[in-house]
A and B are shown apart, each in its own frame.
Chain A
């Protein structure tokens, strides 16, 4: 008997007599209006920095966040108009981890954002890139459009595709391990900027 057969036989034996089928009650909220102010409020509560600007102002906003000459990791399909001339772009043409870690910042788009929880979700699309890009640099600038914002977790999952690698981000890296208080800044980016477009 393989371990697989042993385990499945044990579980089947444990379920004899068979339990009654279970009906899952789903009476929780699945529809709610999207409140952009709530998203901003939640993100600010996590000490993320939020900028609400027009799409034409993204590059200027980035220029104001990053010092002149900063190196910025850029996923393959990031809109070029989002990058100011003041920064040095490092397009991800197979950058190795040390090159990514050495950059000052990363700029990505996002797939979905959740207003209720202050979460942005990256799904590895070409304007977001590989997961490591938004992990190693110490500062992450994430650009999201109002149409990508949903009210709650159920609506977000409905928009996502399960087979893509997903990273849910709710504020900068943090820990609650010291006396159970949230402290920003452990291994992920210690500074998170959200640029919210109309």
Chain B
């Protein structure tokens, strides 16, 4: 490889990590749509969070001003990303941390494996982080004989259930309390056989199970919500206290973060710490936020490593329209308001980033060819844009990426018609009603009537549900 080529924006490599699904979105969605329990769980959970979030956002008179500031700070970060990363590196190093750079998932995994090996330990505790899922760190650690222990309750449910995460914030959102009880009874060593499905009882079981592990594991791996270039401060936002355990108890802390998580100044946190909790869990503030700058003598980890990861982000940055996907603060609000996500769940998106943000971020990180169906996993209703605390125009990005998706020419034209129809509710509603009618009258209900049939003829679309997204949306 020439030097010049090495230095060009590059997508995330194949064969490592979890950015690509095994099936196309329509094929995976069909399985999800056939699971009524999954739909009930998702419907219940997302309705709960939407109501909570709307309530606490309504309390904030300057919400729109905060969104505008958050969006602009992120645009500023991207415009000055190289210099901000150099500044961050400088400040973290000055405070006693060690900064590593990883061009892709393979490099990041190798760095973390080497760092853990150097400590002589064969187990690490982990606080939930999207980025370590993105790069497949757990698999890399296991391959090196190191056991990663997920300590977030939802991650634990996923790990014990030998399942996959389905939501950014609540990876086990597809499980209800009765299912969680069954998973714990089946897979949690030493669990009380009299366990009930009371949420507080389930949480207490996780507390007992993990306490010993927290106290006896000297290495932790975390992600980061924010990193302040001006001060070298890292921030992790969480609820349960497992984050505090991982960030406080071990001797060695390894934090992996995507390069876009940097913010310029300490003061910028005042915007994001107001936006994030209200948009994500619908709380005025999440129970715990930890901030640390390098190493504090006598308090917490005495060895701190920060791994800065590209893994396709430079390729996203190179697209002037697409780069706004890097504004994302992973609040998951766009998932919770999305009528498509609510019906299909997160697994259908294949990537660790599901929902509307996943539909625009994953194809950009991998190159559109590797996630070609995701930009179509949306009705372009616009709810995600309204909900996004940093004002990412997801519908605009979807349309932009559809232009790049290597679908047959006829299909692109039909999708343009579909996009038009979906933007014009009466036409779209009529088209969807016609599709439902065709199902009821005995024809196989695959596909939309003209002018949209050009697209659906080549898509194996799921059976139209008895209620369409739009009918469902209108009836809420």
CB contacts under 8 Å to A, within B166-198, are 169-170, 172-173, 176-177, 180
Identify which of A18, A116, A174 gathers the most chain B CB atoms within 10 Å of its CB.
A174
Query: Which of A13, A166, A182, A185 meets B207, CB within 8 Å?
Result: A185
Whether A186 contacts B95 by the Cβ 8 Å rule is: no
Binds A, one of B26-34, B100-108, B382-390, B416-424: B100-108
Interface size on A, residues (CB 8 A): 76
Task: Give complex CA distance A56, B354 in Å.
Answer: 55
Contacts of B176 in A (CB 8 A): 179
CA distance A36 to B394 in the complex (A): 40
Is A157 interfacial (CB-CB < 8 Å)?
A: yes
Interface string of A171-187 (1 = CB under 8 A from B): 11111111111111111
Docked CA distance A14–B320 (Å): 9
State A27–B66 Cα separation when bound (angstroms).
8
Spot the interface stretch: A60-68, A79-87, A129-137, A141-149: A129-137
Q: Which of B74-82, B370-378, B427-435, B442-450 contacts A (4 or more CB under 8 A)?
A: B74-82
Decide if B82 touches A184 in the complex (CB within 8 Å): no
With contacts A19-B78, A132-B249, A187-B207 known, is A179 near B65, CB below 8 A? no
- Indicate which residue in B48, B231, B310 contacts A181 across the interface (CB closer than 8 Å): B48
Asked if A27 and B172 make an inter-chain contact with CB atoms under 8 angstroms apart, the answer reads no
**Which residue in B152, B240, B259 is a CB contact (below 8 Å) of A7?**
B259
Task: Report yes or no: B79 in contact with A118, Cβ–Cβ below 8 A.
Answer: no
Name the distance in Å between A28's Cβ and chain B's nearest Cβ.
Answer: 4
A189 to B294, CA, bound (A): 26
B130-138, B266-274, B455-463: which lies at the interface: B266-274
Contact B157 A177 (CB under 8 A): yes
Query: Is A69 close to B, CB under 8 A?
Result: no
Q: Please, how many angstroms separate the alpha-carbon atoms of A1 and B176 in the complex?
A: 50
**B6, A1: Cβ atoms closer than 8 Å:** yes
CA–CA, A179 and B151, complex, Å: 18
Given contacts A170-B285, A183-B203, A187-B207, contact A153 B69 (CB under 8 A): no
Q: A118 and B285 in contact (CB under 8 A), knowing A14-B9, A22-B79, A28-B65?
A: yes
Chain A residue contacts of B320, Cβ below 8 A: 19
B117 within 8 Å of A by Cβ?
A: no
Contacts of A158 in B (CB 8 A): 267
Task: Give the 8 A-B residue pairs with the shortest CB-CB distance, closest first.
Answer: A188-B241, A9-B7, A186-B240, A187-B241, A10-B314, A14-B318, A117-B285, A168-B289
* Contacting residues, chain A, for B107 (C-beta < 8 A): 3
Any B CB within 8 A of the CB of A167: yes
Give complex CA distance A167, B317 in Å: 33
Give Cα A178–Cα B157 distance, bound, in whole angstroms: 10
In the assembled complex, how far is the CB of residue A24 from the closest CB belonging to chain B, in whole angstroms?
4
Whether the Cβ atoms of B287 and A28 lie closer than 8 Å is no
Q: A14-B9, A162-B266 are in contact. Are A180 and B45 (CB under 8 A)?
A: yes
CA distance A14 to B315 in the complex (A): 7
Q: Which of A15-39 contact B (CB under 8 A)?
A: 15, 18-30
Question: B318–A13 contact, CB under 8 A?
Answer: yes
Contact between chains at A13 and B240 (CB < 8 Å) = no
Query: Which of B139-147, B296-304, B339-347, B398-406 has 4 or more CB atoms under 8 Å from chain A?
Result: B296-304
A30 surroundings in chain B (CB, below 8 A):
270
Whether the Cβ atoms of A21 and B65 lie closer than 8 Å is no
Residues 261-283 of B, flagged 1 when their CB comes within 8 A of A and 0 if not, give 00000110111011001000101
Q: B207 to A24, Cβ gap below 8 A?
A: no
A153 to B274, CA, bound (A): 7
Residues from chain A with a CB closer than 8 A to the CB of B202 are 178
Q: Does B98 contact A (CB under 8 A)?
A: no
CB <8 Å contact, B72 and A24: yes
Assuming A97-B215, A130-B298, A162-B231, is B82 touching A12 (CB within 8 A)? yes
Q: Mark B61-99, 1 if CB is under 8 A from A, else 0.
A: 110011011001101101101100110000000010000
> What are the residues of chain B within 8 A of A182 when measuring CB–CB?
281, 283
Name the residue in A13, A28, A165 with the highest tally of chain B Cβ atoms < 10 Å from its Cβ.
A28
Contacts of A170 in B (CB 8 A): 283-288
Given the complex of chains A and B, what is the CA–CA distance between A195 and B92 in angstroms? 36
Max chain A C-beta neighbours (<10 A), residue from B46, B72, B103: B103
Is B284 in contact with A178, judged by CB distance below 8 angstroms? no
Q: Give every chain B residue within 8 A of A91 (Cβ-Cβ).
A: none
User: Are the CB atoms of B228 and A3 closer together than 8 Å?
Assistant: no
- What B residues does A8 contact at CB under 8 A? 82, 85-86
Given the known interface contacts A130-B299, A186-B240, the answer about A10 and B10 at a Cβ–Cβ threshold of 8 Å is yes
B267 touches A171 (CB 8 A): no
With contact pairs A7-B308, A28-B271 given, residues A1 and B318 touching in the complex (Cβ less than 8 Å): no
**Across the interface, do A180 and B199 meet the contact criterion of CB distance under 8 Å?**
no
Interface status of B415 (Cβ within 8 A of chain A) = no
Inter-chain contact A177/B154, CB cutoff 8 Å: yes
Residue in chain A with minimal CB distance to B247: A131
Q: Is there an interface contact between A165 and B69, defined as CB atoms closer than 8 Å?
A: no
Q: Which of A118, A174, A188 contacts B244 (CB 8 A)?
A: A188
A117→B273 CA distance, assembly (Å):
10
User: Whole-angstrom distance between the alpha carbons of A117 and B275 in the complex?
Assistant: 12
In the complex, are the beta carbons of A167 and B244 less than 8 A apart?
Answer: yes
Task: List chain B residues, Cβ under 8 A from A153.
Answer: 269-270, 273-274
Query: In the complex, A182 Cα to B206 Cα: how many Å?
Result: 15
A11-B69 in contact (CB<8A): no
Contact B8 A13 (CB under 8 A): yes
A169 within 8 A of B: yes
Q: How far is the CB of A183 from chain B (nearest CB, A)?
A: 4
How far apart are B172's CB and chain A's nearest CB, in angstroms? 6
Chain A: minimal CB distance from B141 (Å): 20
Kindly state whether residue B200 has any CB partner on chain A within 8 Å. Answer: yes
